[in-house]
Structure 1
Amino acid sequence: MTTETSLISNIAYKNEGLSKTESLELYRLMLKPRLIEEKMLILLRQGKVSKWFSGIGQEAISVAVTKALHKNEYILPMHRNLGVFTGREIPLYRLFSQWQGKMNGFTQGRDRSFHFGTQEFKIIGMISHLGPQLGVADGIALAHKLKKEKKLTAVFTGEGGTSEGDFHEALNIASVWNLPVLFCVENNGYGLSTPTNEQYRCKDIADRAVGYGMESHIIDGNNIIEVYTRVNEIAESVRENPRPVLLEFKTFRMRGHEEASGTKYVPEELMQHWAEKDPVINFRNYLMSEDLLDQKFNDELIAEIKTEIDKNLKIAFSEKPVSSNESKELNDVYKIVDYEEVKPKGETQELRLIDAIAQSMKQSMAKHENLVLMGQDIADYGGVFKITDGLLAEFGSERVRNTPICESAVVGAGMGLSINGMKAMVEMQFGDFVSSGFNPIVNYLAKTNYRWNQNADVVIRMPCGAGVGAGPFHSQTNEAWFLKTPGLKVIYPAFPYDAKGLLNTAFNDPNPVLFFEHKALYRSIRQEVPTDYYTLPFGKASLLREGEKISIITYGAGVHWAMEILDELNYAEADLLDLRSLQPLDKDAIIESVKKTGKAMVLTEDTLFGSLASEIASLIQEECFEYLDAPVFRVGSLETPIPFASQLESQFLPKERFKARLKELIEY
């Protein structure tokens, strides 16, 4: 940054009662990220950092918002908000190590740039999919509200990100629930190279707030005094009167989306206009014109910051390249769990699958006072399957919450609750609808512990499965979508006893759990179930029947089809293994059974291509090849969407094909 002094300021500053000390502090806070960025651009050209997303020209927003928030309030920044990180006084060598992929960084080399969070500094970094962090901010703010804390949450996005569905979902939830969130939109004119007139038609993004019944403000994002005083005033008000506020900061980024992009798409006159509104240079000139800053102090301040940068760069450069091993990498995918075994005792009663799940929910709500349930129609109505019926009356509307129809932001809110020390359950009204919340599940919940050691204490309940004539959009059993994603746990019980114990364990587990509940089994399967609280471990299959000649491996409705066909054929020579837990998977039980019998059939309700059945068949081929007396048989549903008419649905499902293939395997 040049030290050349001109007392001309192109921004109309108003003192607003700031002391000299406060004014100089704001200047120092802006100067630091600017000087770091200038250094990073040099290092980028030297090949010493791999990528850089510049925030030059936007520093006033990050700095002032951070200054206006209390240090124990969360901020969710973007990749141009370096001033948030420096404003929270993160040691620079840790930032530099993060950008170089070294161990002193916040992700141990597992993620780059600003894609990290830190509970120590109450900063929750972005992921590349931009939108989900807005819903996460809702969850963090909801936790503050539930804990009766006078705190708010600030979350950043750019004007481009406001076109994403997550933006609209998050603002709607925040408005409906009156959450203390500052939605900070940095309108810098371009989404990469796309100008605002090709992104939206309203005059200002702030105009959208009226549609959500939300307060909004437009702020000159290059005027540090205006940003700080207005945000500080709004923040104080929101702490006392919790509500969401949409803040649109008018600004401009003076460099490309990232350095490789360049700025050739920006008209020269527009670049010149905003160059004259540089927030750092203009504020420096203003301070000098008001005799609040002199050239000597300015030079000393620049030299001091540059010395700090160089000292911390030396530490980061001297750090060894990141190293690890397979064991450490695998162990960090999930938060370590101390399984709490609670054995059943006392009385039992005959329960349907649906009753056992409801009983688990009630007992887990009593056990975990920080557990919040969220889902469409789960409160007064009790859910479309009536599983949550009665929980509103017992635990109140703060913990049993109806949501708008916006799966993505609700999953994000669950993540936010976890970040702020609570537990969340999200009920998908039908498991099919999870596709609308797919992104935050597989890209946020699943990856966060591995990336920066933050657990996602979220259970997502998934009513699923065919056999009830519900057609293509209410019948899928889509567990395979999630088994591919490291970081998620996937549970799929077939019996009331298992469902209750495993769901209790899911609520105890600090990792994200997808809990599949087959709709056709809800009211058709009954079993004696302990009335008191108990748990069952993940990763343990249940051997329902023992035989010496064939291993049948299945889960969900497939368990009941297998039992029915075995009885019909009067065949008693099969091991019947109910997996119950799909991730983690009880590989040992599978291998042990197949080595004993020499024949294996894997049955799934899913279509076969890309299914868990295919993975298990591959596992058996690798681990049990020398023991096999026949090929591994797989049976699944037809490779079509799930049809509605009962005749078509029966043909789609694999039950009859399983019977034919079982006969074939017996005779092989």
Structure 2
Amino acid sequence: MKSQPAAPIYFTYNRSGIDDNTLIQLYERMLKPRLIEEKMLILLRQGKISKWFSGIGQEAISVGVTSVLQQDEYILPMHRNLGVFTTREIPLHRLFSQWQGKANGFTKGRDRSFHFGTQEFKIVGMISHLGPQFGVADGIATANLLKKNNQVCAVFTGEGGTSEGDIHEALNVASVWQLPVLFCIENNGYGLSTPTSEQYNCKNLVDRGIGYGMESHRIEGNNILEVYSKLQALVEDMRKNPRPVLLEFETFRMRGHEEASGTKYVPDELMNTWAERDPLINFENYLISEGLLSETKVETLKTQIKNEINENLDIAFAEEEITSDKSNELNDVFQEFAYEEVSSNSKTTELRLVDAISEGLKQSMERHDNTVIMGQDIAEYGGVFKITEGFLEAFGKERVRNTPICESAIVSAAMGLSINGYKAIMEMQFADFATSGFNPIVNYLAKSHYRWNQKADVVIRMPCGAGVGAGPFHSQTNEAWFTHTPGLKVVYPAFPYDAKGLLATAIEDPNPVLFFEHKALYRSIRQDVPTDYFTLPIGKAALLQNGTDITIVTYGAGVHWALATLEGQGISADLIDLRTLAPLDIEAIYASVKKTGKLIILQEDSMFGGIASDIAALVSEHCFESLDAPIKRVASLETPVPFAANLEAEYLPNERFKVELDNLLAY
């Protein structure tokens, strides 16, 4: 006979098709994160952890979603999804070490709380810039489709995060590409202190699914059986019929956004209403009423879990505080890449820069069958510069993907492809448009390996530069934005031979590479280039001319301006083409300056904050005694790039370079 419930049960539970063991397991899976959180709140007050984002009262969502996924299906949680980590059975002492910033955590003390991922448990943690997480899920799901593994992935955000543009971009991409992703929105009432009435103006967030052409469902997020049953049916069908599904879980945040912020802005009546809908207490009372639990059994389970928590806390507390090692810190910014030279063959053909890039890209895609290239108009149209013309026929639409106009989502998707075992190449239609994908480039691609040892095997091709009358938004050479960001490699070739070899290496390299391609050089520069696949080392400058009177350092179009200036002048100059800006071959510059005693640096970018400034500073610090004259920098004007030909000619530094070069030689 069933015992009577010890307390009222708010929800109607439908256990149809769910066996007793699963019911007990779901309860235990909710109980563990609740008890961990209660302990963490004590430790927070004791100063033994520094910050806490509480998911108390929301455990049913994390546990329900994770329980219907297979262990090898990726899940991308947020702050308040502790139940994801515990349901995936991550050892508690490692979680506790993570929260204390110790080495046995997942980020070596470099990031906090739930800002980490782990391939072992197929979890990809968040970054504070919430939006890219949805795009990363798109990339993971794209890889699943390519692998034909019938897997889904799930990604979380809160109702506040849905206001970010990255979220809209990623949902649109998922719908267009029919990606098997569960997009989980935890609508918990407040984005920090801002209520939903000030976050969006539709009745329910799930209604947005209509606009995306996406199946969507609104679910009682505090009812564990509703979450589990509905998602189990959805996931089983999505594996057979891949598609995205938008889910809005109705729930509430019972504690502050993080503990320091409190909940004073929440009316008491609202807090009391949601306390009655506690997912753990209601389910516990239901299981007692069904005779599947007793108060004694509940206490036994709590004791067992509390003992497990304390035992693992002892392990974490006993671990030594992490110490800083400069070498380790620097070495972990990039994944180790053992460059292997592939020599060029003796057969050559004359190619324009644009053709060399196209040929190198095609040969790399032939060599690496796990490469995917994405970008606007790159498939049937062949790209606005026709670099991918014919690629669709050669590699198929799965590997050559037209994208919507949404740079941020595609950069994030490239990261997801890398996480799931692919090499991603993105054509940024114009380098100027990187501003629309800036966040995931500098915060996701650049930082993932340093943070949690996850490579970002991504190349972003960046058509750039002025001299083609394209005006302020299609002419920038914005490499300095990215050389300032540790974790990114920046390549900027000036010749077809270098472009082909360096692009091959960039694609080989498991780290994120921004590959700048000057538009004005695409069809104006020709060179004999080996016909076969070959590589060149990233981080090695080229000495184009050898002299004794002056060192000229430049890159990109500046190389050709310098060559034209030197032609027939009888100037004995070292002319260094950097080819790579990060890493920078500074030793080649030092060696030259120590020989010549004079240095002039030419860049197309405007002066302040550019590459030339850092090179000048480094040479001043390390070669001061070798200098016979002040270092000279020559750059474009401090204005946006103008459109009219006469204005653009004045903007660019190539005419001024000859004057400054003569002045420095005469110093």
TM-score (structure 2 length as normaliser): 0.99
Are residues 1:358 and 2:358 paired?
yes
Q: Is the 8 A contact 1:116 1:451 kept in 2?
A: yes
* Deviation of 1:13 (Å): 1.2
SS in 1 for 2:311: helix
Task: Indicate the residue corresponding to 2:211 in structure 1.
Answer: 211
Are residues 1:231 and 2:245 paired?
no
1:466 is matched by which residue type in structure 2?
A
Are residues 1:313 and 2:319 paired?
no
**Equivalent-residue separation in structure 2 for 1:595 and 1:287 (angstroms):** 80
1:35 is matched by which residue type in structure 2?
L
Q: How does 1:59-98 map to 2 (within 5 A)?
A: 59-98=59-98
Task: Indicate the residue corresponding to 1:38 in structure 2.
Answer: 38
Q: How does 1:52-63 map to 2 (within 5 A)?
A: 52-63=52-63
**Equivalent-residue separation in structure 2 for 1:361 and 1:352 (angstroms):** 14
Q: Is the 8 A contact 2:543 2:577 kept in 1?
A: yes
Q: How does 1:534-613 map to 2 (within 5 A)?
A: 534-567=534-567, 570-613=569-612
**Equivalent-residue separation in structure 2 for 1:405 and 1:242 (angstroms):** 23
2:77 is matched by which residue type in structure 1?
P
Task: Indicate the residue corresponding to 1:266 in structure 2.
Answer: 266
**Equivalent-residue separation in structure 1 for 2:80 and 2:11 (angstroms):** 22
**Equivalent-residue separation in structure 2 for 1:93 and 1:289 (angstroms):** 35
Q: Is the 8 A contact 2:358 2:388 kept in 1?
A: yes
* Deviation of 1:14 (Å): 1.4
* Deviation of 1:11 (Å): 1.3
SS in 2 for 1:11: coil
Q: Is the 8 A contact 2:469 2:644 kept in 1?
A: yes
Q: Is the 8 A contact 2:356 2:496 kept in 1?
A: yes
Are residues 1:396 and 2:391 paired?
no
* Deviation of 1:572 (Å): 2.9
Task: Indicate the residue corresponding to 1:181 in structure 2.
Answer: 181
Task: Indicate the residue corresponding to 1:655 in structure 2.
Answer: 654
**Equivalent-residue separation in structure 1 for 2:282 and 2:484 (angstroms):** 52
**Equivalent-residue separation in structure 2 for 1:270 and 1:16 (angstroms):** 32
Q: How does 1:328-477 map to 2 (within 5 A)?
A: 328-477=328-477
**Equivalent-residue separation in structure 1 for 2:265 and 2:505 (angstroms):** 55
Q: Is the 8 A contact 2:380 2:392 kept in 1?
A: yes
Task: Indicate the residue corresponding to 1:24 in structure 2.
Answer: 24
* Deviation of 1:626 (Å): 0.2
**Equivalent-residue separation in structure 2 for 1:117 and 1:475 (angstroms):** 38
1:362-415 alpha-carbon deviations (Å, 9 max, x no partner): 100100000000000000000000000001001100000000000000000000
Task: Indicate the residue corresponding to 1:294 in structure 2.
Answer: 294
Q: How many matched pairs?
A: 663
Task: Indicate the residue corresponding to 1:221 in structure 2.
Answer: 221
* Deviation of 1:274 (Å): 0.1
**Equivalent-residue separation in structure 2 for 1:609 and 1:6 (angstroms):** 71
1:605 is matched by which residue type in structure 2?
E
1:593-616 alpha-carbon deviations (Å, 9 max, x no partner): 000000000110001101010000
SS in 1 for 2:486: coil
Are residues 1:117 and 2:117 paired?
yes
SS in 2 for 1:662: helix
1:528-549 alpha-carbon deviations (Å, 9 max, x no partner): 0000010000110000001101
* Deviation of 1:656 (Å): 1.2
Task: Indicate the residue corresponding to 2:511 in structure 1.
Answer: 511
Q: Is the 8 A contact 1:16 1:225 kept in 2?
A: no
Q: Is the 8 A contact 1:61 1:249 kept in 2?
A: yes
Unmatched runs of 5 consecutive residues or more in structure 1 = none
**Equivalent-residue separation in structure 2 for 1:562 and 1:363 (angstroms):** 32
* Deviation of 1:290 (Å): 1.1
**Equivalent-residue separation in structure 2 for 1:11 and 1:148 (angstroms):** 39
SS in 2 for 1:572: coil
2:155 is matched by which residue type in structure 1?
V
1:559-583 alpha-carbon deviations (Å, 9 max, x no partner): 0000101115x13311000000111
1:610 is matched by which residue type in structure 2?
G
Q: Is the 8 A contact 2:549 2:571 kept in 1?
A: no
1:132 is matched by which residue type in structure 2?
P
* Deviation of 1:17 (Å): 2.1
Q: Is the 8 A contact 2:175 2:214 kept in 1?
A: yes
1:336 is matched by which residue type in structure 2?
E
SS in 1 for 2:346: coil
**Equivalent-residue separation in structure 2 for 1:534 and 1:14 (angstroms):** 63
**Equivalent-residue separation in structure 1 for 2:146 and 2:107 (angstroms):** 30
Task: Indicate the residue corresponding to 2:621 in structure 1.
Answer: 622
Task: Indicate the residue corresponding to 2:643 in structure 1.
Answer: 644
**Equivalent-residue separation in structure 1 for 2:14 and 2:575 (angstroms):** 77
1:241-276 alpha-carbon deviations (Å, 9 max, x no partner): 000000100000100000010001101100000000
**Equivalent-residue separation in structure 1 for 2:504 and 2:416 (angstroms):** 21
SS in 1 for 2:217: strand
Identity rate, percent: 70
2:230 is matched by which residue type in structure 1?
R
Q: Is the 8 A contact 1:7 1:289 kept in 2?
A: no
SS in 1 for 2:171: helix
1:613 is matched by which residue type in structure 2?
A
**Equivalent-residue separation in structure 2 for 1:18 and 1:429 (angstroms):** 51
**Equivalent-residue separation in structure 1 for 2:172 and 2:368 (angstroms):** 28
**Equivalent-residue separation in structure 2 for 1:60 and 1:319 (angstroms):** 32
Q: Is the 8 A contact 1:376 1:427 kept in 2?
A: yes
**Equivalent-residue separation in structure 1 for 2:581 and 2:646 (angstroms):** 30
Task: Indicate the residue corresponding to 1:632 in structure 2.
Answer: 631
SS in 2 for 1:459: strand
* Deviation of 1:340 (Å): 1.7
Task: Indicate the residue corresponding to 1:171 in structure 2.
Answer: 171
Q: Is the 8 A contact 2:183 2:244 kept in 1?
A: yes
SS in 1 for 2:155: strand
1:597-640 alpha-carbon deviations (Å, 9 max, x no partner): 00000110001101010000001101110000000000000000
SS in 1 for 2:623: helix
SS in 2 for 1:321: coil
Task: Indicate the residue corresponding to 1:666 in structure 2.
Answer: 665
**Equivalent-residue separation in structure 1 for 2:453 and 2:16 (angstroms):** 42
Q: Is the 8 A contact 2:382 2:388 kept in 1?
A: yes
Task: Indicate the residue corresponding to 1:251 in structure 2.
Answer: 251
1:653 is matched by which residue type in structure 2?
L
Q: Is the 8 A contact 1:139 1:416 kept in 2?
A: yes
2:546 is matched by which residue type in structure 1?
E
Task: Indicate the residue corresponding to 1:484 in structure 2.
Answer: 484
* Deviation of 1:353 (Å): 0.2
SS in 2 for 1:317: helix
The RMSD of aligned alpha carbons is: 0.7
Q: Is the 8 A contact 2:54 2:256 kept in 1?
A: yes
Q: Is the 8 A contact 1:7 1:288 kept in 2?
A: no
